[in-house]
Amino acid sequence: MRRGIIEGEVACDLWALAVTLAWDASLPVVTQPRRHIGTDALWENFEYMAAISKRWIDTHPNGMYPNDQPRMPKDDSLLKILAERG
């Protein structure tokens, strides 16, 4: 994205949620080596994509699903099973 090889809007539409979840989960692993070597350059492309992805999610809170297309039905069977088990 940073180098323009893939358009940011396309990358975020496809991977924003996965990238932000992975960044959040990886943050302790990213932070310690950065402190140890004294630079934030380590994993900077990942960080850049995560930052762009977070902004994309903030500006598209309901995703990009076309308004004129019906959604697939929801399935609450798991909720019913969990409620029965208390």
pLDDT single digits (tens) 21-35 = 999 999 999 999 999
Backbone φ and ψ of 6, nearest 5°: -125, 135
Is residue 56 in a domain?
A: yes
Q: What's the half-sphere exposure (Cβ side, CA atoms, 13 Å) at 39?
A: 5
pLDDT in the model for residue 2: 83
Q: Give me the number of domains the chain comprises.
A: 1
CA geometry: angle 23, 24, 29, nearest 5 deg:
75
CB-based contact 33:42 (threshold 8 Å): yes
pLDDT band with cut points at 50, 70 and 90 for residue 51:
very high
What is the C-alpha to C-alpha distance for residues 65 and 76, in angstroms, rounded to an integer?
Answer: 21
> Residue 45: which domain range?
8-85
Q: What's the half-sphere exposure (Cβ side, CA atoms, 13 Å) at 12?
A: 21
Is residue 81 in a domain?
A: yes
Q: What is the mean pLDDT of residues 35-42?
A: 96
